[in-house]
Amino acid sequence: MIDFLIGLLDWIYKKKCYFCGNSKESVKMCSNCFDELEFLPVQLNKVYNKVPIYCAGLYDKNLQKMIRGLKYHRQRDLAYFQAKFMYQYWEKLNIDGEFEIIPVPIFPKRKKKRKYNHMELVADEFSKLTGYDVNTELIKRIKDTKPQYNLNKSQRMLNLDKAFSVDVSKNIAGKRVLIIDDICTTGSTFEEMIKELNNAGIYDIICYATTTPVYQ
């Protein structure tokens, strides 16, 4: 009944594209705006402890608006389009294996305030596209860290020190770990999660971000 009512409201009040305002397709991101998103070259962004880190696009224009809309402005429908963008780049990487998707966790107090973890929404949509399982129990954020955007590399690492905890009982049954996040600037978040997973004996890891503002 709820889905029917939502569908009826969508029909009566057509959704407008969050980017151009067009309501013809009644979606939060029309096909024209999606097709304008630009991918980075298909190559490594960086490596940490032998773990490859990939980034799909640059954090600017509509990609920036997409991420900020989902993360800060409760535009949950954008999770699908962010996952779709990541999936299209992921296909180009031609990486084999069965993966367990690990969305970067946020501190419980922050999740309660925001009402959701935006990367869990993206992970759920990415799972539908890839067939990989989502695992939100393997690694948790146990430290209420400060926002990272105004911190330099050393400050970020100090801020994230002992921020994550791995529950080895939530084993991944031999699958590879795919950590996903929205933005990779210095890579500090990925690096701290990699260290904690390595300490727990987990080494088969790939890190993957939607965007980076500092691609070289």
Domains annotated for the chain, with CATH where assigned, are: 1-36 (no CATH), 37-212 (3.40.50)
**What's the pTM value of the predicted model, to 2 decimals?**
0.90
Q: What is the mean pLDDT of residues 205-211?
A: 98
> Which pLDDT score, from 0 to 100, does residue 150 have?
73
Lowest mean pLDDT among 31-35, 40-44, 57-61, 108-112: 108-112
- The more confident residue out of 64 and 215 is 64
Sign of CA dihedral 142, 192, 133, 183: positive
Q: What is the mean pLDDT of residues 178-192?
A: 95
> Which pLDDT score, from 0 to 100, does residue 145 have?
80
> CA 209, CA 184: separation in Å to the nearest integer?
6
Q: Identity (one letter) of the amino acid at 119?
A: M
Confidence of residue 11 (pLDDT cuts 50, 70, 90): low
> CA 58, CA 138: separation in Å to the nearest integer?
29
DSSP 115-132: SS-HHHHHHHHHHHHH-P
From residue 57, alpha-carbon distances to 8, 34, 184, 192, 195 in Å are 35, 13, 10, 22, 25
Q: What DSSP element (H or E) covers 210?
A: strand 205-212
Three-class secondary structure of residue 214 per DSSP? coil
Q: What is the mean pLDDT of residues 35-62?
A: 96
Q: What is the mean pLDDT of residues 94-105?
A: 96
What average pLDDT does the structure give for the chain?
91
